[in-house]
Structure 1
Amino acid sequence: MINEFKADLKSLSSLQIYRKYVLGGDCHLLDNHRLFEIRETICEKFEIEFNDVIMVGSGKLGFSIKPSRRFGIFNDDSDIDIAIVSTKLFERIWQEAYLFKKSGADWPSSNKFFKYLSEGWIRPDKLPPSSYFEFTADWWNFFNNLTSSNRFGPFKVRGGLYHSNFFLQEYQIICIEQCIQEAS
């Protein structure tokens, strides 16, 4: 698939590549049954729509498109990356995080959290400390349990929360456009 992807970098737009490879196409790591199972488990946990759970990254493509690992093949050190696109969940966590910060609580990564928030996504590793912020503990417990279950292989399962499809698309397109520039 990597050769087809590289060939398409020369003939398709970044949006077309996003649609073809990230939203469409086969999943490299998981067969249809396992992909359904992971998406179903996540949508049930967070009470979101099934289509709001999207596998991304090297587990989906078979290789990475992010700059630090560009075209690196999925391997034993790779994660299963899940994008959760839910305006309702995103805004709930945004409000809770705002109130947490407003309370004056200790939160060393708050500036980084709000930087990513301005880009339309919540990085769980930048959430307030789990000892004070219930959602953080709940998030990590859930994804760590998915990982330790080995239902999806011996890989870490990680998730990011996006405000809308627009922000997921924009995040992915940045990396795709860098791939296009490098292929030129």
Structure 2
Amino acid sequence: MFSDLSELYTAMIEIEPRNFVSHFIFEPVPFLFDGIVSDWIEWKTVLAENIDVDPRDIVLTGSAALGYSLNPVKSFKSFDDNSDIDCGIISPHYFDISWRYLRQLRPSWLSLPSKTKFAIKCHRERYIFSGTIAADSILELLPFGKEWMSALERMSQIVPTNGRQVKLRIYKDFDSLRYYQASNISSLRQGLVAPVEEDSGDSEISVIPTEE
């Protein structure tokens, strides 16, 4: 998808973040599948059948999609043998089930482990407002968690995700996923561009290299 980091930097600088999501996350075959659309469709069809969603509503994100991570804390880490597979599931149905369950869980959530309590707090304060359920951190709590965890175990046994951990996040709609990804891209973009003062007093855009 991108031959090197400089191509990714250029695209992020030149393309508005929400449009970047369409060009490089929603529409193309993910980096993981090396441009082979039939392999991508077959893989997400298997996952879709096991979690009861439509294959069209499955979107890879992160380094498996682009070849480089867009997580602001990972400094554009390239996809490698240890990379997880981050997957967005567009499902108002499962979003609503999750949201209602988390709301009803409030009387007992204080007895949960600290890491789980923190994840629930993040949902209350940030994720749910933006139309996101970070199922990668609370999947075992959700009503459909057991079935989905079994599905993810199966996906870690088939090509090309064999031996890798597949993680899911649920989004209320495509706009919610676009918003989440575009927000990350906007943050990264700020670190890629900086004013460079010329002798004339004008400025230009320069790319600041980021170490992986």
TM-score bracket, normalised by the shorter chain, equals 0.7 to 0.9
Q: CA deviation at 1:50?
A: 2.2
- What does 1:38-77 align with in structure 2 at a 5 Å threshold? 38-77=43-82
Partner letter of residue 119 of structure 1?
S
Q: Following the alignment from structure 2 to structure 1, what is the Cα–Cα distance between the partners of residues 52 and 149?
A: 17
The equivalent of 1:181 in structure 2 is 190
Please say if residues 82 and 159 of structure 1, whose CA atoms lie closer than 8 Å, have aligned partners that are also in contact: yes
Partner letter of residue 64 of structure 1?
S
Closer/same/farther in 2, CA of residues 8 and 125 from structure 1, 3 Å limit = closer
Q: How large is the Cα RMSD of the aligned pairs? A: 2.1
Q: Following the alignment from structure 1 to structure 2, what is the Cα–Cα distance between the partners of residues 139 and 107?
A: 21
Indicate the SS of the match to 1:160: strand
The equivalent of 1:140 in structure 2 is 149
Paired positions, count: 180
Partner letter of residue 94 of structure 2?
L
- What does 1:147-158 align with in structure 2 at a 5 Å threshold? 147=156, 149-153=157-161, 154-158=163-167
Please say if residues 97 and 128 of structure 1, whose CA atoms lie closer than 8 Å, have aligned partners that are also in contact: no
The equivalent of 2:89 in structure 1 is 84
Closer/same/farther in 2, CA of residues 134 and 88 from structure 1, 3 Å limit = closer
Indicate the SS of the match to 1:55: strand
Q: Following the alignment from structure 1 to structure 2, what is the Cα–Cα distance between the partners of residues 19 and 141?
A: 30
The equivalent of 1:123 in structure 2 is 134
What stretches of structure 1 of length at least 5 have no aligned partner?
none
The equivalent of 1:20 in structure 2 is 23
Indicate the SS of the match to 2:179: helix
Q: CA deviation at 1:169?
A: 0.7
Partner letter of residue 88 of structure 1?
H
2:177 aligned to which of 148, 158, 168? 168
Identical aligned pairs, as a percentage? 20
Q: CA deviation at 1:90?
A: 0.8
Bigger shift: 153-162 or 105-114?
105-114
Residue 3, structure 1, aligned to residue 11, structure 2: no
Please say if residues 113 and 126 of structure 1, whose CA atoms lie closer than 8 Å, have aligned partners that are also in contact: no
1:86-120 deviations in whole A, cap 9, x for unaligned? 11111022222323334x36334232332322231
Please say if residues 133 and 170 of structure 2, whose CA atoms lie closer than 8 Å, have aligned partners that are also in contact: yes
Please say if residues 57 and 81 of structure 1, whose CA atoms lie closer than 8 Å, have aligned partners that are also in contact: yes
1:127-179 deviations in whole A, cap 9, x for unaligned? 3755xx542222222212211x1322332111111111121111101111122
| Larger-Rg structure | 2
Please say if residues 140 and 149 of structure 2, whose CA atoms lie closer than 8 Å, have aligned partners that are also in contact: no
Q: CA deviation at 1:17?
A: 1.2
Please say if residues 87 and 163 of structure 1, whose CA atoms lie closer than 8 Å, have aligned partners that are also in contact: yes
Indicate the SS of the match to 1:177: helix
Closer/same/farther in 2, CA of residues 141 and 16 from structure 1, 3 Å limit = same
Partner letter of residue 78 of structure 1?
S
Indicate the SS of the match to 1:71: coil
